[in-house]
Each structure stands twice: as C-alpha cells, then as structure tokens.
A and B are shown apart, each in its own frame.
Chain A
C-alpha cells in the first residue's frame, strides 16, 4: 500500500506515492534526491539529518514521510540564497567548524534554529543547544567559534 504525499522542499513542491514506513530522511535523500541531509545513526542521537520543518529544526529520521504531508521543509541545500552563503555557513567555513563534513549539514540546520531563538548565545548556551548534534572530528571548539561568528554576522531582524 502506498500513500500520496505532497510537500514543499526548498521552495519547490514535490508529490510522490510512498510506503507509509518510509522515513522522511529517506524520502528526502532517495526519493527527492537531496543528499545533503545525512544519516549517521538509527536512534536519533547524531543529528546529521536535521532539517527545518515548518520553521522548526527536527531530525528527519524521526518522521515518516507521510507525517510531513503538506509541510514546508528547508534542507541544507536551501540555505544559501542566489549563490550567497548564509552567515552560519560562512561561520563554519571561516572558523574551521568542520572537518569530514558529514555532521555539518545537520549542525548548520540546528544552529539556524538556535540563532533564531537566541540571537546572541553565550558559549555555555551554544554547547547546551548542541545537545542533539554529534561531531567526531572537531571536538566542538571551532563549531562554538563558528556559531559565535555567525551570531555576530547575522543580519538584524526586521
């Protein structure tokens, strides 16, 4: 049995018939073909699959695709606009906040929400907010710096 799903991902609409058990992350990666969202675990610890669903950072491995029917989704591929990197992306590049790059898309999407909630986070707050994202390469030091850099360079909210 397959069910229809429709959703908007990075301002494009997609509709498919999918198995009810298909995870949203596999829908994004395999069905839609956006492979920037990664799968690093099977117990929702690593955060590599973090996306924005209706404005909220969620782990795409925690949803079935059918649960996202009608949702507005942004993945890492949708963050840079018109070839212009987002300040969070620039922060990670500037401060060497990544090494192998595998956790990075999920990190960045998670930080997107963090900076919406806390535009000027302290180091302690950043570290606490990264609770849901694992990185095995950087020891987090430069990720913290990248986020601080991004916070300083975010455009002022209108």
Chain B
C-alpha cells in the first residue's frame, strides 16, 4: 500500500474542474450535437405487452411530408441479435449452473412478435423530428394480441404464456451457490431459532436525468461511422455493435460518449436504437439522430432489481448466525440485456455472506422471462438485492430471537482482517473492519439515548423507528481470467494512457467514463501528485474511442480502483523513462536518480537536478539523448486487478410514521462508509449522498408497476413513477473509517454504489421498527408509500 504525503492533492476536496461548463450551460450532451443534413429517427413501438406481428403497412407513413425512409426488422437483413455478454452454461464450466441460460434472440427491430410494451418494430426516418413522429404514427401494424405475463412469480408458472421458443416455461436459467447440505444441517441444529420471510425487491427504473440518445454519421467517402451515444463504456458499445450485431469493421467505427447526464447502469448496455440508427446511417449515407422521450426511456431503458425471495435464517441460542438459505426468482424481462444474467447470480449470490461470519449459506436463483422491459444492472446491480435480503432477514431473526438488532449484528461481525477472508459464497474479501464502522455509526447516533426517546415517544402513541444496515459491496470486479471463468464475455481491466507533451503539459486518456463521477478532477489529482506538476497542466480525456486505448468503462464503482491504477502504472513508466533521460542530462546513472516534487535529482546531491519540463522537452528534441532510448514521452497501461475490492459500512435511519396517514418521515439518516483511501472527499461524499437518495427512493416511493391484465407499464412517466424529491430527504450525517485495500497501490476501493446498497434496508427496517408496537414484525413489499403503510397499520393486530 502506498503512503500518501499530506501535502499532496490526494485526499483533498479539490473543486471539480468539469463544473464551469456545466454551471454555464456549456456542457455538451449527445442531444446537443448538431450536424448538417441530419435526419431524425422515430420508432414504431408495440402498444401491446405481447402480440404477433401480422403485417406492417408503411405506405401512408411514407407519403407523409418530410419522411425519408422507413425500415422494419425484415429490411435489416444480415443483422444479428443484440448479444448477451454473460453465458451461464454447463459446457462452459460456469460454476453453479443448474439449468443452462436460454440464449434467446433479441433483434434490433423485432419482426415476428412484440414481447413487451415499447418493443420497437419499425423506424421512421425524416427530415425533422416532428415529421418522424408524425410518420411513425401513420405506420399501420396489424397486431394479433397474445396473452401476456408480467408478474415475476407467475412468469414460470404452468400455463403462463410462452415468450420464446428457446425458453420452455419462460425459464432463462437456474443457478445456485453455497453448500446446500451444510446449510440444511445448520437449520437442524438443536435449539436453533429459524425465521423464514418473503422479501420482494421491486422493479426500478434508473432515471438518469438525461434520456438516452444517439447520433450516427456514416461518411461514405472514408467508410467511417461516427456514433455519439449516451454510453458509460464507448468501447464496449463499439465492440458489441461491430463484431456481434452489424458485422462492420471496428477500426472504421468511432464511438463518442461526450458529456453524459447520469447512467446508474442504464447506459452500459447496447440498445436497439443505437444499432438501428447506425445501420440506417450506413444505408442512407446521412446522419441519423434519435433522442428518447422520457416515456420512451421508461419503456426501453433496462430496468433494475425485480426479485422475489424466500429467505431463511437460523440463529443459535447465543445469537450467532448458523445458516442462511435463500431462494430467489429474478425477472429478466422479455429479452436478455447485455449483462442481465450476471446480476442476479454472480453479483448477487456472492454477496450473501454480508459482513457476518455465517458458517453455511445456500442460494438458488431462477431467472425468468416476462412481458416486461429487460432488466439489467442498476446502481449496485445484485449487491443491493443481496444486502437487502441479508439486512432484512438479520433483523427479522433478531426480533424472533428477542435480541437487539444492533447487538445481534455486533455478535456476528467478521473480525478485523487484511489480506483475505474466504466467504461461504466463493468470493474472498480484501480487507475489513466492520465493527469499527458500526461503532462509529452507533456513537454518532447515540443509540441507547435514541431507544430511550423511542420508548417515551411510544408511550405518547408516536410511531418512531430505527433501522440499520451493515452492508458490503463488491467493486472493481476482476481479474479478467476469473470473470471469464464465471461466464463473462468481456475482460474487466482498464486502460490509461499518459501523454507528456514537449512543454511538460500532460494529457491522460482513460478508458473509464465520467457521467457525473468527476474523473476530470480526481484523476488529475493523481497525475499532478505523481508528476509533481500543477493540476492546471493536466487534462483528462475520456469517452472517445478515436483517441483512447480500448477500455471497459465505468460501472460497478471501478473507475478509481481500476481506471485510476492504470493511469498510475503509466505515470510510473513515464517517470522511469524520465529517469533515464535525466540521468543522461545529469551525467549520472539512472539508478541514482530520484524523482520527487517535479524534479529529477541525483540522490544526495540537491544541486544536481532537472525539472520534469526539461526532461519532457528533451524527450521530444532528443539532441542530447541516451543511447537506446526512444524519443517521446508517452506510456499506456492496462490494469487487471488481482481481486475485487470490498467497501463496507454502517448506515442507520430514524423515521416517524404518521399513525393516521401512514406517511413515513425520515428524521435522521446516518452513514459511516469505508471505501478505502479517498482521493477527493467532497466527491465521495457527494456520491454517498446521491446513493442514499436512490436507496431511500426504492424504500419509500419508487417502483415500476405493470398492470397485471394488460401488461401496460403503469408508471411510464415521471408523473407516475415517484422519484425522490428534495423535501422527502434530510441532510445526511456522514463519516468514514479508512481500511485501505491491499489489492491496488492506492488502497482505494470504490464509492459509487455504497449508499444505494445500504439505504434501502435501513429505511425499511426503520419502518418495521416503528410499527413494532402494533404487532408488525415484517413488511414484504416496497415502496413504503403512505397508502401501503396505512393499510399495514389498519391490518395490524395491535392497531385498535
């Protein structure tokens, strides 16, 4: 682990360098890019949840003024299915596969049947946005509506309408992890307290504030295609589109993800629209632009979560956890999104050990298809679902055993360690001090005092509650060899190129992509520190396959730990080469050169030194240059971590429930996170805040709801899907403990998803605690809307 000098930028809350353009309206998002001769795409989408396409009549639409062309799936010959990048099959020796993944086709424009509301069947291209939309309304599709299924638990039931020929019974896969026999035995331990609960993790929509968009421009003269797209990982978009779907040369395609207005996972995946626009641009030899309306975004952005779980915990008489048994049905939607099978399996089952020493765990998961929008990674992706199960069932267990929820947790924490803790669910934790974060949180809360206040409030009839969450998160999932063995079709390394210009200015090209994370600041802090130059001399470039080495992009809280380390490796190479050049200039041996504070200096001889700028100039004007050294000063690295990083922490939420209305008000929210070393505390705090708000959103108001009869998405606009607003949320009380990871040299773990993972169970546990005097000991479903809570109060035995 590297030590970081206190006078460095590492660890300082540097104001963000990207902000001036955003606060003045000069950011450039995809929909801001204008190109002469641009055409506009509008998609004809299924109004039915499930329907066969008998015929598509485009004649009337073609006659609409301004319409340039219309294409259906049948026109897109030679185009392949959108790929699923995670293959759960026994023949691939993927661990835990009980039933192989059904690799069902997902065509960019479906031509046989529509399988969810919003499934695109045709695209209208016009000279204006308005003409394209008008044209799309004039396309006549002769639909044969079919029975549909949207409910997770009914999707694989006998008699459910079948979505795909290749997926009998709508089962996408069956998978398991852990030790079934040991877990069964643990539950039979004499005197064990066992509790079984149904726990539903409802479907969510990411709702990045910028809707998805793309602009494809094919240049007939050069054969080059440029695609601006709202992407968290432009190289992944390019590779999947070129190699798997369109079969076009990768080196002739440039993907640009400029400023991107939030992602939260939803902009990782390759979607129908960007593939169709790229294909059309090549066909028409004109630029094609599409921007989702928010209503389209609700229907087509990959959704998140949607698990129904039966969880059981066994506790010994002493309050020690003996075993955990989990059975989950995961709704994958109508098609397999890019990384869909990974989310409810390797990103979920592997986190069920939580922060506890649990001797036996078994988890089985059935993935099912339904007539709903595809489900894939949403902020946290599998890990929030795991944390939710663990933290809810632990509290349910504590209540059944008559123990305090805080005491029970403390009794079961994995003791402090660094290096390796082997869990019961395959993964090996890197470092942890779970008790320390927990104790700090309890101290901030003044737990005993709160319980006394709660007691007093209850005597007055007030419903005050507290909920906890001791979470663990897995970031920077790696190494590539391991994820390959688990079924991934991709590696999970990152690239970082450092280009030192002759004047000593530095441009860094990172494969990570910022869509709010602030890489232009944090990465520049790393560079300025390492090279001992002012941060103003450093520029960070991301989001353009035309200039950046192949990179994997930003998701899973991997940018600092993987992308940052790749940059650090290149900086080390730059310094090593710089030492050889400096040694030559100083007439010394390279091994006698030290580099610090921007100076190459002969060890022990302070007067004999050359500054970084002189060395960089020499590298490009190599008149007086060492033998055998190439001119130039530019280095590229690819970093493939040896293991995941596992941030953790302790959150608490205090709520008051209004007995008459069921309204839940958050009185306090406390978060103590441990994300390892922190590059920019201001930015990390900001991510924690935003994560908490999303987690609270799931607990209190969010949820994608389908009508069980018609299969329509009822929450299809921002009017119907309740996003958290400022007046629902408190000021968050945050702090950190610091347990660096031994996995990477900066000791950074990852901070992007922690809040989302931790907050949901903390809030729901608090509501359960608040309602405990009424005899409520569990709540199955979220969100905790006033209506739901009011009904629970009315139905509670202690209510009257």
For the complex, give the distance between the alpha carbons of A89 and B34 in Å: 26
A63 within 8 A of B: no
Give which listed residue, A40, A85, A92, contacts B211 with CB less than 8 A: A40
Contact B259 A42 (CB under 8 A): no
Contact B19 A36 (CB under 8 A): no
Chain A residue at minimum C-beta to C-beta distance from B26: A36
Q: Which of A85-140 contact B (CB under 8 A)?
A: 85, 89, 92-94, 96, 98-105, 108, 123-124, 126-128, 130-131, 133-140
Chain A residue at minimum C-beta to C-beta distance from B27: A101
Chain A residue at minimum C-beta to C-beta distance from B732: A141
Contact B694 A127 (CB under 8 A): no
Contacts of B262 in A (CB 8 A): 99-100, 102, 136-137
Contact A98 B22 (CB under 8 A): yes
Contact B692 A139 (CB under 8 A): yes
Chain B residue at minimum C-beta to C-beta distance from A106: B209
- Minimum CB–CB distance from B230 to chain A (whole Å) comes to 10
Q: Which of B23-57 contact A (CB under 8 A)?
A: 23-29, 31-32, 34
B719 within 8 A of A: yes
- Minimum CB–CB distance from A88 to chain B (whole Å) comes to 8
Contact A77 B130 (CB under 8 A): no
A142 within 8 A of B: yes
Chain A residue at minimum C-beta to C-beta distance from B696: A139
Report if A134-B686 is in contact (Cβ < 8 Å); known contacts: A100-B515, A104-B22.
no
For the complex, give the distance between the alpha carbons of A79 and B774 in Å: 54
For the complex, give the distance between the alpha carbons of A130 and B691 in Å: 19
Contact A85 B729 (CB under 8 A): no
Contact B32 A136 (CB under 8 A): no
Contacts of B25 in A (CB 8 A): 34-37, 75-77, 105
B727 within 8 A of A: yes
Contact A92 B294 (CB under 8 A): no
B207 within 8 A of A: yes
B247 within 8 A of A: no
Contacts of A43 in B (CB 8 A): 294-295, 717-719
Q: Which of A26-64 contact B (CB under 8 A)?
A: 26, 29-30, 33-43, 45-46, 48
Give which listed residue, A26, A75, A98, A123, contacts B19 with CB less than 8 A: A98
For the complex, give the distance between the alpha carbons of A104 and B687 in Å: 16
Contact A79 B261 (CB under 8 A): no
Contact A100 B24 (CB under 8 A): no
Report if A42-B210 is in contact (Cβ < 8 Å); known contacts: A96-B686, A143-B726.
no
Contacts of B101 in A (CB 8 A): none
Chain A residue at minimum C-beta to C-beta distance from B259: A101
- Minimum CB–CB distance from A118 to chain B (whole Å) comes to 15
Q: How many residues of B contact A (CB 8 A)?
A: 60
Contact A42 B295 (CB under 8 A): yes
B225 within 8 A of A: no
Report if A136-B209 is in contact (Cβ < 8 Å); known contacts: A101-B18, A105-B25.
yes
For the complex, give the distance between the alpha carbons of A6 and B413 in Å: 68
Contact B16 A136 (CB under 8 A): no
- Minimum CB–CB distance from A125 to chain B (whole Å) comes to 10
Contact A76 B24 (CB under 8 A): yes
Report if A102-B210 is in contact (Cβ < 8 Å); known contacts: A34-B25, A130-B725, A131-B725.
yes
Contact A134 B732 (CB under 8 A): no
For the complex, give the distance between the alpha carbons of A23 and B18 in Å: 30
Contact B727 A131 (CB under 8 A): yes
Chain B residue at minimum C-beta to C-beta distance from A101: B22
Contact B732 A41 (CB under 8 A): no
For the complex, give the distance between the alpha carbons of A54 and B528 in Å: 46
Report if A89-B264 is in contact (Cβ < 8 Å); known contacts: A41-B717, A100-B516, A126-B726.
no
Contact A136 B19 (CB under 8 A): no
Chain B residue at minimum C-beta to C-beta distance from A75: B25
Contact B718 A46 (CB under 8 A): yes
- Minimum CB–CB distance from A122 to chain B (whole Å) comes to 12
For the complex, give the distance between the alpha carbons of A141 and B724 in Å: 12
Contacts of A22 in B (CB 8 A): 130
Contacts of A37 in B (CB 8 A): 25
Contact A140 B518 (CB under 8 A): no
For the complex, give the distance between the alpha carbons of A139 and B129 in Å: 33
A21 within 8 A of B: yes
A9 within 8 A of B: no
Contacts of A134 in B (CB 8 A): 209, 718, 723, 725
For the complex, give the distance between the alpha carbons of A128 and B727 in Å: 5
- Minimum CB–CB distance from B728 to chain A (whole Å) comes to 8
Give which listed residue, B264, B689, B727, contacts A139 with CB less than 8 A: B689
- Minimum CB–CB distance from A120 to chain B (whole Å) comes to 18
Give which listed residue, A93, A123, A135, contacts B209 with CB less than 8 A: A135
Contact A100 B209 (CB under 8 A): yes
Give which listed residue, A35, A136, A144, contacts B690 with CB less than 8 A: A136
Give which listed residue, A42, A93, A137, A144, contacts B23 with CB less than 8 A: A93
For the complex, give the distance between the alpha carbons of A89 and B755 in Å: 27
Q: Which of B503-530 contact A (CB under 8 A)?
A: 515-518
Contacts of B27 in A (CB 8 A): 36, 101-102
Report if A136-B517 is in contact (Cβ < 8 Å); known contacts: A93-B23, A101-B27.
no
Contact A137 B690 (CB under 8 A): yes
Contact B210 A94 (CB under 8 A): no
Contacts of A105 in B (CB 8 A): 22-23, 25
For the complex, give the distance between the alpha carbons of A92 and B261 in Å: 17
- Minimum CB–CB distance from B31 to chain A (whole Å) comes to 7
B163 within 8 A of A: no
For the complex, give the distance between the alpha carbons of A102 and B515 in Å: 10
For the complex, give the distance between the alpha carbons of A19 and B260 in Å: 30
Contact B19 A93 (CB under 8 A): yes
Q: List 24 A-B contacts (CB under 8 A).
A: A19-B130, A21-B130, A39-B211, A40-B209, A42-B294, A43-B295, A45-B723, A92-B23, A96-B682, A99-B262, A100-B261, A102-B27, A102-B208, A103-B209, A104-B22, A126-B726, A137-B209, A138-B689, A139-B693, A139-B732, A140-B689, A140-B726, A140-B729, A142-B686
- Please name 15 further chain A to chain B contacts, defined as beta carbons within 8 Å, in addition to the given A127-B725, A131-B727, sorted by A numbering: A39-B31, A41-B294, A41-B717, A42-B295, A43-B294, A94-B15, A102-B29, A126-B726, A127-B727, A136-B209, A136-B264, A139-B729, A140-B689, A141-B731, A142-B686
Instruction: Please report B residues at the A interface, Cβ cutoff 8 Å.
Output: 15-16, 18-29, 31-32, 34, 129-130, 207-211, 259-262, 264, 291, 293-295, 515-518, 682-683, 685-687, 689-694, 717-719, 723-727, 729, 731-732, 755
| 4 A-B pairs with least C-beta separation | A36-B25, A102-B261, A101-B22, A139-B693
